[in-house]
Structure 1
Amino acid sequence: MARRSAGFVSKKAHRKSRGGCLTCKRKKVKCDEAQPACGYCCLRSWDCQYIQDSALASKSPPSDSTSSHTTPLSDTSNVEEVDFNNTSIQIPTWLVPAACASTGQLTLLDHELLHHYRTSTWKAFAARKDAVVQKLHRDFVPQSSLSNPYLLYALLSIAASHSNALSPSKQIEKQALVYRHKTFQEYSKALQNITAENYESVLVTGTFLLALIPPPAENATDEEHLDWMFSLLKMSEGLRVLASLRWAQGIEKLTIYPLICRELRALPPPPTIHGKDDASLCTPVGPLGTTPNHPNPAPTYPHQYPLSSPLFLPQPLMALLKTLVNPASTGRIDLDRQTLTPVFHALSPIFLSLYYYHLNQDFYVRIFAFTSFLMPDFLQLVKQREPRALTLVAWWFALANLVPNGWWVGQCVRGVVGAIGGVIRAQEVDGGSDGCSSRGNEIVIEAFERAERIVETFQTYSGEDAAMSIYEEWVGVSWDEGPKKAEEWEFGQLLDLGALDPVGFEMAGVGISAQS
């Protein structure tokens, strides 16, 4: 048989895959470029991601002739220099290298959402924006999330929800739900094994869970608003329990302490409206770090001692408190008095901070810290829809509405306060509740309607107008006088510490004399 000569055998030219998916590029295998997922990724059930650059994604063969609309790659005269240290710049996804976390390899969407969290999302819900908190949210928290899946999924879910709120996307909305489900799944496991190594990540995740509770829709019923409200309070209770594990054992030394502290400054004493003769209308005396007057850990108060001062509450709330501490001699015994009274004490410093420093970061921090003073017995009253407990919650929501960073709450404040009003007014028609006389019911209604008016003022005008309206009918208190009195008090503190020479200070042209 004649043998064939071993001549040259031509082969079909191999077409290089320039529009392949990122997985195939990393694996250095030929990609069939099938959409939406290539065959290589489909066979292995992998996430298939394509470069979104239109020039790279185009499959049309290049033209031999140079079009007038084509810019040579070597021409860099019109290319603007990019500062890659500027976090406001959206870095193309194909420039992001593959990274691994405790959950596995991060997808391009994970990278984008983490970037969105670092540059935008945290600003939308954080009560503070100082340099320390900024560094925690931009660096420490995202880095910690890579080794703690519950924290990673929490960040991704919050960032996805925020991104979807800014630019609605069904895909992002669906992914936010997936991340949220994984957050609670992993967080439940972590709570069963809290260690010194994971305590900070568990605690900071607890602060994010409030934003993961899906708010009611715009057309939600009163029941849905009340259910959401109670879920929010119950989630806050879990955070309080977590923080209590180390509150008196050096929690202020933790890196994340600035995210969980309960006040930013010591407040001047309240203006003299009523004396200290009635101890029931004064703040309780307790160990530092345990009362609303001194809410931070004891070591953060090196020069202070627990003292009592008159409560600082608007007239409607003060009238409601007096029905508790000075009950009528006749009628049923109020079994809820001991449960309700501490909540008035927790509200007092919030009004004081707002009065002296107006809308400031200390006020915002105290708003978020308020729920840490709500005990299980009080939450049970809220669940039972006790009118006075609901009224106090309505006041907190009205005040929380003044905090600018609450995108995840949306229009829920108005819906919740409206739902509370429906319950309170319905109970008034039905004849009141345990512990409330006819006059007591009227006082509850008056206190609630005052909170309702604050929400309406906010909706109609602005947060500043709503804050001012709190002090309009407050006898002996002027909104404009607050900051001036705070300056005088701070000046007096400096004199007491010997930090200033009053004579030299006055000669320097400052309009505060030693006598004042």
Structure 2
Amino acid sequence: MTPAAGKPFHPKRPHRKSRAGCRNCKTRKVKCDEGRPTCRTCTARNESCVYMAVSRRASPPSPPSPPSPASAASSPGKEPASTLVPIVARHAAAATVPQQPLFIPSGHSELDMRLLWFYSTVTYTSFSTGALQQRSVDVVLKVDVVQHAFANPFLMNCILGLSAQHINHLGLENMGISKSHEIYYRAMAFETYRKAVAAAEPATFPAMLATALLLCGLATHVFRGDEAVPLSIMDWMMLWKGIGAIIEVTKFPRLVKSGIARLIFRPEVDFDASSRCLPSYLLFMLSSIKEGDPEFPLVPRYYKALQYLGSLYRELRNGFSQMLLLRIVTFVTYLDKPFIENARERRPRALIILAHYLVFAKFRVKTCWWMEGMSDHEIPNISRFLGPEWAHLLRVPMAALLLDDDKDIARLLLDDPSWDVPTKMEDEPLTLDDERTLAIRAARGEDVTAGVDAYQDGKIGIC
């Protein structure tokens, strides 16, 4: 009897070739399951999975992506119909404008990827300082933080919410991000972060640290618009202290290994030199407290906060430098928890110190977009709360509200009408980074070809 005799005939099962497989599988000539971001074969072999670009004409139509955990079952409201935002390739030889996102990972929506693209192109720079060529922290913000975000939904929610807030702050209507999107992602960020803090899983500590930093920018909506709340700076300071709390429970080598540790750099403070730069009336505010006064035991605490404030005065004498920006942004992290508690108790001298810090936060040249409007909102609130009795110590903060020019604000702070920007800084470019500028222009639907040419010709400054 032949082998075929007595056996039913089975036609050969059709085989679908893996035309869009990863590079490793194609090299080995094995079938790739095309799993994203890593196929099963590369996962088993612990190899980096890289997919080659496939033309749209040759690719089969892909099914719509399911909503992501970060954006829940459905995004708020109906997602606006908008074209994908173009981005200028940074080192492209020609002025090509590929579309973003290039692909949508499983579990995420097109809206998620659009926001993630904007973060990795524009928003991340809000937490980085220094010349672009020297900013090693950018790799952490653009790569390490994003990698942790895909594994930790609370960090992804924070990134998407911050990006949505930034887009609306810039008025980029072409991005198709509504206010409801911003509110939704922000609410999800805080809710999922609270759950992560309650769980306190050691594996999530690096992502929690990155989230704690980004939340300080995300939470500034309370200083602007319809969502503004008086004296919100007290709660905002507690968010900053949350960074220290996470560091305390995390073994530092774990943070170093994760790549996140570079996000928590703070410049040193020369206390003696900073003390000499303080206005005399602020020092007198403390020296006038006599023994027996209820606040006399708090004098050392207030003086330490003034020394940190003095580092801002000292740095300002050197002009509007990147170091000044770094000191302004990180100022709250230096304040100890007892001082913050005194401020939350609405103690006058603590509020006066904060009011003077807010004058520095008013600078427009170097401060972050998420700090804009904070000073104009909170200085009047502090003044109204303290009343006429303390008005003489709020003269400078109140006068700063009437000024818009950075040079005039600096002269007010330094009490020097003749002060000017140091000559060595006159030629410092104060424009946005070339990549960020082009991305914003592209998001607005502007022609970016001229911008690419200017970048290639070296005409665009990097701040």
Normalised-by-shorter TM-score class: 0.5 to 0.7
Q: For residues 247 and 74 of structure 2, what CA distance do their matches in structure 1 show?
A: 40
Aligned to 2:406: 463
Q: Distance in 1 between matches of 2:178 and 2:96?
A: 20
* 1:146 and 2:123 aligned: no
Question: What code does the residue aligned with 1:26 have?
Answer: S
Decide which of 329, 338, 355 is 1:368's aligned counterpart: 329
Report 1 or 2 for greater relative contact order, CA contacts < 8 Å, sequence distance ≥ 6. Answer: 2
- 1:388 is displaced (CA, Å) by 0.9
Match of 2:147, SS state, is helix
Task: Give percent identity, aligned residues only.
Answer: 18
Structure 2 stretches lacking a partner, 5+ long:
1-59, 67-72, 426-463
Partner Cα separation in structure 1 for residue 160 and residue 396 of structure 2: 39
SS in 2 for 1:106: coil
Describe how 1:44-123 pairs up with structure 2 within 5 A.
Answer: 91-92=98-99, 96-100=102-106, 105-123=107-125
The equivalences for 1:188-207 within 5 A come to 188-194=194-200, 197-207=203-213
**What value does the CA root-mean-square deviation take over the aligned residues?**
3.9
Kindly provide the CA deviation profile for residues 9-51 of structure 1, in whole angstroms up to 9, marking residues without a partner as x: xxxxxxxxxxxxxxx94249xxxxxxxx9xxxxxxx8899999
* Residue aligned with 2:122, SS: helix
Letter of the 1:374 counterpart: L
Identify the residue that residue 138 of structure 2 maps to in structure 1.
134
Higher helix fraction (1 or 2):
2
- 2:363 alignment partner, SS class: coil
Match of 1:26 among 56, 62, 74: 62
What's the offset of the Cα at 1:260?
A: 1.5
C-alpha displacement of 1:234: 1.6
The question of 1:175 aligning with 2:181 is answered yes
> What is the Cα deviation at residue 200 of structure 1?
1.9
Query: Based on CA coordinates, which of the two structures has the bigger radius of gyration?
Result: 1
1:319 corresponds, among 281, 284, 289, to 284
Structure 2-normalised TM-score? 0.64
Give the superposition deviation at 1:449: 1.2
How many residue pairs match? The answer is: 347
Once the two structures are TM-superposed, the CA of residue 140 in structure 1 deviates from its matched residue by: 2.4
**For each residue in 1:318-349, what CA deviation from the matched residue of structure 2 results, as whole angstroms up to 9, or x when unmatched?**
222322xxx44676663432432221122122
Contact 1:230 / 1:382 at 8 angstroms: preserved in 2?
Answer: yes
- The aligned residue for residue 394 of structure 2 is 448
Deviation at 1:203, TM superposition (A): 0.6
CA distance in 2, matches of 1:53, 1:125: 28
Q: TM-score, normalised by structure 1?
A: 0.58
8 Å Cα contact 1:455-1:466 kept in structure 2? no
Which SS does the other structure have where 2:372 is aligned?
coil
The structure-2 alpha-carbon separation of the partners of 1:153 and 1:46, relative to structure 1 and needing over 3 Å to count, comes to closer
1:346 paired with 2:308, answer yes
Distance change >3 Å, CA 166–CA 448, structure 1 → 2: same
| Distance verdict in 2 for CA 1:316–1:333, change over 3 Å | closer
TM-fit CA distance, 1:398: 0.9
User: In the aligned structure 2, how far is the partner of 1:89 from the partner of 1:106?
Assistant: 27
Determine the C-alpha separation between the residues in 1 that align with 2:150 and 2:203: 14
User: Which secondary structure does the structure 1 equivalent of 2:283 belong to?
Assistant: helix
Cα distance, 1:249 vs structure 2:
6.5
Amino acid at match of 1:415: H
Instruction: Please give the secondary structure, in 2, of the residue aligned with 1:385.
Output: coil
